[in-house]
């Protein structure tokens, strides 16, 4: 559904400017990413508000989006499925209460995954000079929750850590990398 919408918008843009330098495919890809982000934010905000966990749901989404930017992770093949899964996760997390020892254990496991596997981009990205700092950002943000002790941040980090594990099709070879490169 979101793919069709981004394709339709890209085609209409190309019709309006046929001599423009950007192809329909490139516009479709970029629009798909933005539509997915906006859709997830809107759905999480609305459902979070309806369930009485507006700030908790947005905190979960913000944590996942921030960490995903730096740690990478597996992708769904379908944008609509991505939005639905992300929304379901983010609106469910605030309902799960954890005690402090459980937060520490889950946070330690997440931190270990980020130390070993982050960043793990399952799709090709152009590495920048800042890419080598992505692991440090992941580790520092995860370690910060040892002081904050938020069950929402803890569970969001655990979900994101799980997504960077080399368990997903296509990711089994790309996680092996030269540590000096990072």
* Residue 169 pLDDT: 58
* Structural domains counted in the chain: 1
Which residues lie below 8 Å from residue 180, measured CB to CB, with a gap of 6+? Answer: none
Which residues lie below 8 Å from residue 26, measured CB to CB, with a gap of 6+? Answer: none
Instruction: Kindly state the tokens that stand for 119.
Output: 């960043």
Q: How much of the chain exceeds pLDDT 90, in percent?
A: 56
C-alpha span between 79 and 149 (Å, rounded): 32
| Helix axes of 54-71 and 24-51: crossing angle, nearest 10 degrees | 150
Which residues lie below 8 Å from residue 99, measured CB to CB, with a gap of 6+? Answer: none
**Average model confidence (pLDDT) for the chain?**
86
What is the 3-state composition of the chain as percent helix, strand, coil, each rounded to the nearest 5? Answer: 70, 0, 25
Domain that holds residue 159: 2-181
Question: In whole angstroms, how far apart are CA 181 and each of 52, 55, 115, 119?
Answer: 45, 38, 14, 11
| CA proximity to 72, closest of 153, 150, 137 | 137
Tell me the pTM: 0.83
Maximum mean pLDDT: which of 13-17, 30-34, 44-48: 44-48
Question: In whole angstroms, how far apart are CA 147 and each of 63, 103, 104, 129?
Answer: 16, 11, 10, 30
Q: How many CB atoms lie within 10 A of CB 54?
A: 17
Q: How many CB atoms lie within 10 A of CB 64?
A: 25
73-127 residue pLDDT tens = 888 888 889 999 999 999 999 999 999 999 999 999 999 999 999 888 765 555 6
- pLDDT of 38 above 90: yes
C-alpha span between 60 and 55 (Å, rounded): 9
* Residue 43 pLDDT: 97
DSSP collapsed to 3 states, 149-173: CCHHHHHHHHHHHHHHCCCCCCCCC
């Amino acid at each position: 559904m979101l793919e069709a919408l981004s394709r339709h918008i890209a085609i209409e843009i190309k019709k309006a400017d046929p001599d423009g330098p950007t192809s329909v495919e490139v516009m479709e890809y970029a629009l798909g990413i933005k539509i997915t982000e906006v859709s997830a934010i809107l759905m999480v905000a609305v459902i979070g508000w309806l369930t009485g966990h507006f700030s908790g749901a947005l905190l979960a989404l913000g944590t996942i989006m921030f960490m995903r930017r730096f740690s990478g992770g597996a992708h769904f093949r379908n944008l609509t499925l991505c939005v639905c899964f992300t929304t379901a996760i983010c609106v469910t997390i605030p309902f799960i209460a954890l005690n402090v020892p459980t937060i520490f254990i889950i946070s330690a496991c997440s931190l270990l995954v980020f130390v070993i596997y982050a960043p793990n981009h399952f799709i090709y990205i152009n590495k920048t000079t800042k890419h080598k700092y992505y692991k440090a950002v992941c580790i520092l943000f995860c370690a910060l929750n040892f002081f904050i002790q938020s069950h929402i941040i803890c569970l969001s980090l655990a979900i994101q850590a799980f997504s960077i594990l080399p368990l997903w099709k296509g990711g089994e070879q790309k996680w092996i990398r030269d540590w000096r490169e990072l």
